[in-house]
Amino acid sequence: MTAPTLLILPGDGIGPEVMAEVRKVISWFGNRRGLAINVEEDLVGGAAYDVHGVPLSDATMERAQNADAVLLGAVGGPKYDALDFSVKPERGLLRLRKEMDLFANLRPAQCFDALADFSSLKKEVVAGLDIVIVRELTSGIYFGEPRGIITEGNERVGINTQRYTEGEIARVARSAFELARRRSNRVCSMEKANVMESGVLWRQVVTEVHDAEYPDVELSHMYADAGAMQLCRWPKQFDVIVTDNLFGDLLSDAAAMLTGSLGMLPSASLGAPMANGRPKALYEPVHGSAPDIAGQGKANPIACVLSFAMALRYSFDAGDEATRLEQAIEKVLADGARTPDLLGPEGGTPITTVQMGDAIIAALDASL
């Protein structure tokens, strides 16, 4: 059997640093667990602009389309702030999402016990938190037409249109239900059906997909504003949350901060199944390129490593190995290893990006 292909796009800022630690982890799984992955590497964002004059070349886009999965580090930085909008580094990421048709954005919010004190909520509220928000990524108010700023009479008017088709809702609902079957078999769908027709359709279609295809999964509905309140009140009541593009943007950032460490969280953007039955997929850490600490060995590689763990689970049929990697990270944190971003009020001596990667490898060795 041919080894699956992972296209690595380190990008800008701390991207290459954290990706170097992921490469060590990939090598470990190949050498110690016999997990063969064909790793390719290319440019995206500012790094691509410096070489090609565009944030993503056509050749790289083609490689991404043909890969079994793509793992991206980060894009952007002040060096590129003056560029025209059409060639800013972020446009490379947006092109990947659009042309790969990555319509389901999975953002886990997991609170490791060792970091429970970092949350602004009480420890007992967040300790052990493990939820996933599935956000529709390619439609809704960010893409609907008409849109723009027009003049009516003597004043300007900003217009954005919330628009969803049945098919767009149904496919992201299926992604959420399939994910729930791998977890605790519960989905909560969030919208604003009380005031928005698109919310009415959203609730109807999610219910129809559930009843016809996933009756074994427990489905509940909640207005998105009430959902935000419940995330702050008792987040562990949820398992998988599915919602639209706008509400998913807001709710996933709120859920991420419940863990106390936005910079440690991974994400996956999934599309339609390929010929091998697995979805097209782009994995990336939630954090940005952090140009202020780039090249200083201060970056935390855990979010990028956890993004690779998601790739193991969803693209490479290696869920047990993904769990092994997640447990290794949990052990490293429990043992007190901290990059600068993880130092609490009590302070301490931080370790470097490379040292954190080495600690994860040592914990993986100990798992055998």
Residues with catalytic annotation?
Answer: 142, 192, 225, 249, 253
Q: How large is the greatest C-alpha to C-alpha distance in the chain, in angstroms?
A: 72
Number of other residues whose CB lies within 10 A of the CB of residue 226? 12
Cis peptide before 146 (omega within 30 of 0): yes
Kindly give, in sequence order, each residue whose CB lies less than 8 Å from that of residue 157, ignoring residues fewer than 6 positions away: 149, 150, 151
Q: Residue 333 is encoded by which pair of tokens? A: 């944190």
β-partners of residue 149 are 158
- Cα gap 330→333, rounded to integer Å: 5
Residue 323: exposure state from Cβ atoms within 10 A (0-12, 13-18, ≥19): middle
User: Pairing mode, if any, of strands 144-152 and 155-161?
Assistant: antiparallel
User: Pairing mode, if any, of strands 130-136 and 104-110?
Assistant: antiparallel
Which pairs count as long-range contacts for 26-32, CB under 8 Å and 24+ apart, including other chains? 26/308, 28/361, 28/364, 29/312, 29/321, 32/364, 32/365, 32/368
Number of other residues whose CB lies within 10 A of the CB of residue 122? 10
**Is 296 within 8 Å of 276 (Cβ atoms)?**
no
Query: Residue 170 — φ and ψ, nearest 5°?
Result: -60, -40
**H helix or E strand, kind and range, residue 299:** none
Kindly give, in sequence order, each residue whose CB lies less than 8 Å from that of residue 303, ignoring residues fewer than 6 positions away: 18, 263, 264, 265, 266, 285, 286, 287
CA 235 to each of CA 110, 207, 232, 304: distance values in angstroms, whole numbers, following the listed order: 11, 23, 6, 24
| Residue of 95, 37, 106, 47 whose CA lies nearest to 74 | 47
